[in-house]
Amino acid sequence: MIGRAHHAPSSTVALDAPRDESALLRVEGLKVHFPTEDGLVKAVDGLSYTVPAGRTLGIVGESGSGKSVSSQAIMGLHRGSRAQVSGNIFFDSTDLLQIGDEQLRRMRGRDIAMVFQDPLSALHPYYTVGNQIMEAYRVHHNVSKSAARTRTIEMLDRVGIPNPDKRIDQYPHEFSGGMRQRAMIAMALINDPRLIIADEPTTALDVTVQAQILELLVGLQEEFGSSIIIITHDLGVVAEMAHEILVMYGGKAVERGSADEVFYTPGHPYTWGLLSSMPRMDRARLERLRPIAGNPPSLINPPSGCAFHPRCPFMDEAKYHCVSQVPVFNPELPHPVRCAIPEGERHVIFEQKVKPSL
Amino acid sequence: MYAYVIRRLFSGLVMLIVMSFATFLMFFNGAVDPVRYTCGKACGVPGVLERNRAMLGYDDPVPVQYAKFVKGVFVGRDFPDDPALRKSAPETIARCDAPCLGYSPKENSTVTSMLAERAPISASLAVAAFIMWIAFGVGGGIVAALYKGRWPDKLIVGTALIFYAFPTFFIGLFLYKFVAIKWELTPQPVYTAFTEDPVAWAMGLFLPGLTLALFYIAGYIRLTRSYVIEAASEDYLRTAKAKGLDKRTILWKHTMRSALTPLITLAALDFAGLLGGAIITETVFNYQGLGKLAVDAATTWDLPVTVGIVLTLSTIVILANIIVDVLYAVIDPRVKLA
């Protein structure tokens, strides 16, 4: 494994059962489909997961796997567009897909906040950073401008921006990339939300800054007790932060488990592929990194059966129904894997063929 | 900021000098002898051409003429510029006060006073047209963008395009002959000075202003529409939505701020261009504005007036450019003043 941060939980931490009614967020059978001229794009096609209070879920997958689209559905950012969203998203006991626009608007930013990928394009270029953060606070709190300003300076300070009383009046383009992302985090945290959705929060940043931002998020989570969904294509990021990891492929979940399970006993050939395409720092480099062959699947005409089968190196020897049936994914299990190959054989393949070269 | 303004003003000044000299050279060193158009049939009388040439200063080399012209702009000048004559017979001297842009022997009047007489008419027309085209153009564009792809969008863009397709003289004549005269739906479009009667001023400007505005409205609708649609797809609007802002704040504070900023440049420059007069509209409605003056001067070879108008207009456009640049630096924090 890459250098795992000490924040990451050990596998002894009891995982909440997926059906746990006490989970802060429960996504059940979420589908997000976009009608286009070429056909129906099934960006998210039957996704279920839970996020317990105070825990971090990492959603991993390559571009087009539906990870961002599913998180935007939680915020209702598809409302007013042509997207067809179905399923249930329970936040506490409220179904976010059923409530009215106004009720959802009041929850956005206050109960659920979002940190976006590219903080330069996610901040309005014509308004000062402070103005935008204060706005996020005042829309949910009936306070004076000066009170909001004090609170904003406090938050900027808390996320590690030096001279917050001066930086508050600067524009986004006057901030460096890392500082901008800190400001975005301050904006997301200012209302003390119970759930933070971080959509590729470090992808647009320098590698040196990435670790600082992740550390900041982890520290703030401990302090504020929020749940976090962190969306990334970078396994290193979730290794740092996530308690639980959900691997997505072609709009569906293919594997879910605790961070240790996914890293040490991964069950799905796609997860194996992700792990072997990741550089390792803790071992001598013996051979080249192995990319996953092929391209992400079409979301309009996904491959029949298992969406990963055209790229799966173990399909031929498996002789199973990879092509004819969509493998089941049982969210009731502690470590479900969507694969046609029986678990026992997969374990053998992993131990003999995959693990030695990881 | 002040340094920036001063630097912009200075570069504008340089531009103005170059432009005025080029204009001057073009007209007074061209194929046409300006003196020929000062005396009509009397030019055949021996000595008249020479006397007029001396009187109007056209006997000097062009650079000297230019220097005298520039001096005249700041301190005024006399025609003829003859100290001896000023003592003996001051009544034969035509005085042109600063800012003197020349003297038109044809009209027997200084260019400055001719421009001053016509400028308010063109300016009024420009203001009337500007108000209407911004109101309908930007307003229509915003509505079209909000209803993108649905019938209000198609109706607005389509209607604007129809008006845009008709030539200005057609729309002008139609409005004048039918709307104002035949159907008597609006008051007669006659120019009244604002200082005399503001209501009559506004009423009289309605039709010519509309004629002029209709030409611009189509373009502004399309531009506004595309700017708003473009701004609405920016990432920072998703952020605004994710913050829990209500629709109105998102639209007016976040979308419009970035959508309308580039329009300011265009609108200011178009307005500056209009200040110089609208030839067709002024002709159709018989408004004695700068556009009409320019046509008349050009067709009768009244060179001093033509030069005066060209210089005035280009000064306005240069000034408008400077104002736009400074304004842009104020409204867009990303503009570097260095």
- A59 forms beta bridges with A231, A246
Q: Is A160 left (phi over 0), alpha (psi -120 to 50) or beta?
A: left
Distance, CA of A179 to CA of A211 (rounded, Å): 13
Å between A48 CA and nearest CA of chain B? 22
- Sequence-separated (6 or more) residues with CB below 8 Å from residue A117: A199, A200, A201, A203, A204
* Cα distance between residue B207 and residue B271, in whole Å: 18
pLDDT at residue B163 greater than cutoff 70: yes
Cα–Cα distance, A112 to A318 (Å, whole number): 43
| B81 reaches A (C-beta below 8 A) | no
Between A and B, how many CB-CB pairs are < 8 A? 73
**A77/B333 touch (CB, cutoff 8 Å), yes or no:** no
Contacts of B332 in chain A (CB under 8 A): 125-126
Query: Can you spell out the DSSP letters for B266-329?
Result: HHHHHHHHHHT--HHHHHHTT---HHHHHHHHHHTT-HHHHHHHHHHHHHHHHHHHHHHHHHHH
- Please identify every stretch of chain A with a pLDDT value under 70, giving residue numbers as ranges: 1-21, 281-287, 317-320
| Cα end-to-end distance, chain A, whole Å | 9
Domains of chain B: 2-112 (no CATH), 118-299 (1.10.3720.10)
**B238–A124 CB contact, under 8 Å:** no
Q: Which of A81, A96, A104, A126 would you mutate first to test chain B, the one with the most B CBs within 10 A?
A: A126
Give the ipTM of the model, two decimals please: 0.83
How does strand A56-60 pair with strand A244-249?
parallel
Contact A116 B254 (CB under 8 A): no
B233 at interface of A, judged by CB pairs closer than 8 A:
no
Which of A77, A101, A73 lies closest to A88 in space, CA to CA?
A73
- A173 has a chain B CB within 8 A of its CB: yes
3-state secondary structure of A241: helix
Tell me if chain A has a CB within 8 Å of the CB of B335: no
- Chain B partners of A108 at a C-beta cutoff of 8 Å? 241-244
Tell whether the model's pLDDT for residue B47 goes beyond 60. Answer: yes
Distances (CA, A) of B160 to B151, B152, B179, B219, B222: 14, 12, 19, 8, 9
Closest by CA to A168, choosing from A204, A135, A120, is A135
**Closest CB to A105 among B235, B246, B258:** B246
Check if the beta carbon of residue A357 is closer than 8 Å to that of residue A287. Answer: yes
| Chain B positions in Cβ-Cβ contact with residue A125 (cut-off 8 Å) | 236, 258, 332-334
What's the rounded Cα separation, in Å, for the pair A320 and A349? 14
Report the C-alpha gap between A170 and A172 in whole angstroms.
7
User: Least CB-CB distance to B243: which of A108, A121, A126?
Assistant: A108
Instruction: Tell me: pLDDT of B20 over 80.
Output: yes
Instruction: Tell me the pLDDT tens digit for each residue of B91-106.
Output: 777 788 888 888 888 8
Please give the structure tokens belonging to residue B229. Answer: 């649609």
Distance CA B275, CA B124 (A): 9
- Cα separation of A273 and A266, whole Å? 10
Among B337, B331, B336, which Cα is nearest to B261's?
B331
Euclidean distance between CA atoms A1 and A7, whole angstroms: 15
> Helix, strand or coil for residue A84?
strand
Q: Does B225 touch chain A (CB under 8 A)?
A: no
Q: Are A59 and A200 in contact (CB under 8 A)?
A: no
> Which of A110, A120, A124 has the most B C-beta neighbours within 10 Å, making it the best mutation to test the interface with B?
A124
Phi–psi pair at A274, nearest 5 degrees: -60, -45
What pLDDT, on a 0 to 100 scale, did the predictor assign at position A8?
41
* Chain A residue at shortest CA distance from B245: A139
pTM: 0.80
B258 chain-A contacts, CB cut-off 8 A = 124-126
**DSSP 8-class letter at A309:** G
Rounded-to-integer distance, Cα A269 and Cα A207, Å: 28
Kindly report, residue by residue over B230-283, the tens digit of the pLDDT.
998 899 999 999 999 999 999 999 999 899 888 988 898 899 888 877 888 888
Give pLDDT, residue B34.
79
Q: Which of B184, B163, B260, B175 is nearest to B209 (CA)?
A: B175
Q: Quick one: CA dihedral A209, A212, A217, A220, positive or negative?
A: negative
| pLDDT at B56 > cutoff 60 | yes
Query: Which residue is listed with tokens 């408004």?
Result: B287
Tokens 């796609």, located at residue: A270
pLDDT-based confidence at B140, cuts 50/70/90? very high
What is the pLDDT at residue A6? Answer: 45
C-alpha distance from residue B150 to each of A7, A155, A309, B230 (Å): 52, 44, 42, 17
pLDDT value for A97: 92
Q: Which residues contact B257 (CB under 8 A, 6 or more apart)?
A: A124, A126, A127
CA of B246 to nearest chain A CA: how many angstroms apart? Answer: 7
pLDDT over 90 percentage in chain B: 28
**pLDDT score, position A13:** 37
Set of chain A residues whose Cβ sits within 8 Å of the Cβ of B246: 105, 139
Q: How many CB atoms lie within 10 A of CB B272?
A: 20
Asked if A140's CB is within 8 angstroms of B242's CB, the reply is no
Q: Answer yes or no: are the C-beta atoms of A34 and A40 closer than 8 Å.
A: yes
Structure tokens at B205: 């400007």
Which H or E run includes B254?
none
Q: Is the backbone of residue B286 left (phi > 0), alpha (psi -120 to 50) or beta?
A: left
Those of residues 244-273 in B touching chain A at CB distance below 8 A are 244-246, 249, 254, 257-258, 261
Q: Pairing between strand A25-36 and A39-51?
A: antiparallel
pLDDT (0 to 100) of residue A15 = 41
Q: Are A13 and A243 in contact (CB under 8 A)?
A: yes
Q: Distance (Å, rounded) from C-alpha A233 to C-alpha A228?
A: 16
